Every structure is written in structure tokens, then in C-alpha cells.
Amino acid sequence: MTIEMIPVIVTFTGTTIAAIWDLKTTEVPDQLPYIMIAIALLFYGYQSLVEWNIWPIANSLIYGMAFLSFGAFMYYIGQWGGADSWILAAVGFLLPAVPQGFISTIFPFSLSYFINLFIVGAVYMMLYALIFALRNKVVLSGFVSDLKSSANVLFIGLIGLFVLFYIAGLSITKIFSGSVDFAGAFYMSLYPLFSVGALYVVWRFAKSVEIHGFRKKISVSKLKIGDMLLSEKKLIGITQEQIKALKKSGKRYVEIKDGVRFAPAFPLALLVTLFYGDLILVLINLI
């Protein structure tokens, strides 16, 4: 093993531990990303001193702080937990450039990882939600009920969109071929129509999982450290002091929220970036 592999090993080991911890307990120890960042700063600080070159440590700081800033923003708007923000920052500190021996990326390695994380994360979250729904009959029945209640609106909306897409298709074929192609305009309208319909179904499914599966009303006596109150905007677990205060307040029930355990997306995106490269190229080819 060469010394250049240390950041890769630390990144994969740290993100994998975070993923396992998140899946088992919904909490990631604060110390884990701190240790990863400390190792990154020591490694690149030593490299800068040995090579008498400021860029190894500078790149680590630039990408690490940029990722930490983005993670803080996601935490502030309630989309990520604090642990997710720090794990992303740790990856930025540890892997500011493509490691030797791995596939080159069209963007700087950290940026390619960042883009891949959201592509991998989107697929992972849908699979997570699907498995969760299949194991929870309340979610499935709620999803079916939601679709039935909005079926008429969806049907009328799709008809209206088809008319708009069809008229647009007729205009496009007239411009590019000089004559109106009714059949071509028809088939041209189906792709965006199908895409809109599919996105609507996915959106309704995600809302059903959130409302019928990730929200629960429980007794205050059953609250445990780490539970997330629905009234709390940020994804932050309740503390022992808050539990004691709720019990003293006389409140009998509270609503808590759960969510997709996002930490596994970090090591998955790392493996994809190291051994495949840029997933954005796949999306471009599909389009």
C-alpha cells in the first residue's frame, strides 16, 4: 500500500462506518467526521511541508470548507442532518483530487463526487422508500388512496398537456420539415407526457411515504434520545433535557418524524466515482 492510498482508505472506512451506524441507530457519532477531517489535515499538511508546496493543504481546505458550507445550508433548510453535513465535508477534506490508480474524471474529483452523490442519492432514496413502503401496508394503502383521489385531476391535466405538446409538436415539424407531420407530432408528444405523468406518480409516492410512514404520534413517555420532533424544522434529534422538559409540561403526545437514512449514499457514491467516473455522462446520453 502506498501512502497516497491513506485518504482513500480513511474516506471509504469512515463513510462505511457512518452508513452502518446510521442504518442501525439513525445517529452518527460526532467524533467520526472530526477524526476523518483531522487525518486529512495532518496528511496534506505533512505533504505540503515535505514537498514545500502549499497546494495539497490548500486544496483540502478549499473543497472541505466548500462542502461544509453546502452541508450547513442543507442542514439549515431541514433537508440534511448535521452528521450528513460533516461527512460530506470530511470527504472534501480527504479527497480534493483524484487518487492515483483510479479513473480520471472530467471534473475535479471532489466536484465529480459531489454530482455523483446526488445522482446515487436520488436512486438510493427511491429504493429505500420503495422497500419501506412494501414493508408497510399503511403507506401502500395511503398511496393508492391518494392516487385515486387525484385520478380525475391527473387525467384532465394530462389531456390538457397532451394538447399543448401536440400543438407544439406540429409547429416544430412544420418549422424543420416544411410540412405538418401529424404522426410525428403525436409520438413527439408522448415522451414529455409520460415523463410528467411518471414524475407526478413518483411525487405522490414520496409524499405518501413521508405522511403515512415517516410521521408518527407517540406518547411522551416513549420518547427516546435522537427522536426528531415534527415541530422541529432542522433534522436534529431530541436531547434528554428536552424529553424531561416535555414530561414536566404535562403534554401527553407528540408527533415525531423519521426519514431516509442517507449516510449509505456517501460510500456508494465514492465507489462509483473511483471506479466509474462521472455519472452525469450517463444522464446526458439518456437525454
Looking at the structure, tell me whether residues 7 and 118 fall in a common domain: yes
| Number of domains present in the structure of the chain | 3
Q: Which three cell numbers stand for residue 58?
A: 490548500
Residue 131 covered by a domain = no
- Do 25 and 109 lie in one domain? The reply is yes
CATH code, domain carrying 109: 1.20.120
* Listed residues 186, 213, 240: the one ending a domain: 213
- Angstrom distance (rounded) from CA 196 to CA 130: 20
Q: Does some domain include residue 128?
A: no
Let me know if residue 21 belongs to a domain.
yes
Question: Which residues are within 8 A (CB) of 283 and not within 5 positions of it... i.e. 6 or more apart?
Answer: 119
| Residues 96 and 205 grouped into a single domain | no
Grid look-up 394530462 returns 158
User: Does pTM surpass 0.75?
Assistant: no
Which of 180, 196, 213 corresponds to the end of one domain? 213
Report pLDDT for 227: 61
Give me the pLDDT at residue 54, please: 93
Inter-CA distances, 137 with 105, 144, 147, Å: 43, 11, 15
How much is the pLDDT for 59?
A: 92
207 with 222, same domain? no
Same domain? For 54 and 101 the reply is yes
**Is 132 domain-assigned?**
no
The closest alpha carbon to 230, from 209, 202, 211, belongs to 211
**What integer pLDDT is reported at residue 205 of this predicted model?**
75
Residue 16 sits in the same domain as residue 48: yes
Residues 111 and 13 both lie in one domain: yes
Supply 74's cell numbers: 442543507
Indicate whether 192 belongs to any domain.
yes
Structural domain boundaries enclosing 177: 137-213
Question: Are 279 and 209 within one domain?
Answer: no
In which order are the strands placed within the sheet that holds 253-257?
215-219, 253-257, 228-229
Write down the pLDDT at residue 234.
57
Would residue 130 count as lying in a domain? no
- Could you list the pLDDT tens digit for every one of the 287 residues in the chain? 578 889 999 999 999 999 998 888 777 888 999 999 999 999 999 999 999 999 999 999 999 999 999 988 887 776 677 788 899 999 999 998 877 778 788 888 888 899 899 888 888 888 887 887 777 777 778 777 877 887 788 788 888 888 887 777 777 766 666 666 667 667 777 777 777 777 677 767 777 776 676 667 667 666 666 666 656 655 556 666 766 766 677 777 666 666 667 889 999 999 999 988 888 877 766 65
pLDDT at position 282: 74
* pLDDT for res 182: 67
Question: Is there a domain that residue 176 lies in?
Answer: yes
In a domain, 150, yes or no: yes
Same-domain pairing of 101 and 159? no
One domain for residues 238 and 276: no
Same domain for 141 and 193, yes or no, is: yes
d(CA 198, CA 206): 12
- Phi and psi at residue 168, in whole multiples of 5°? -65, -40
Beta bridge partners of 228: 257
Residues 181 and 275 both lie in one domain: no
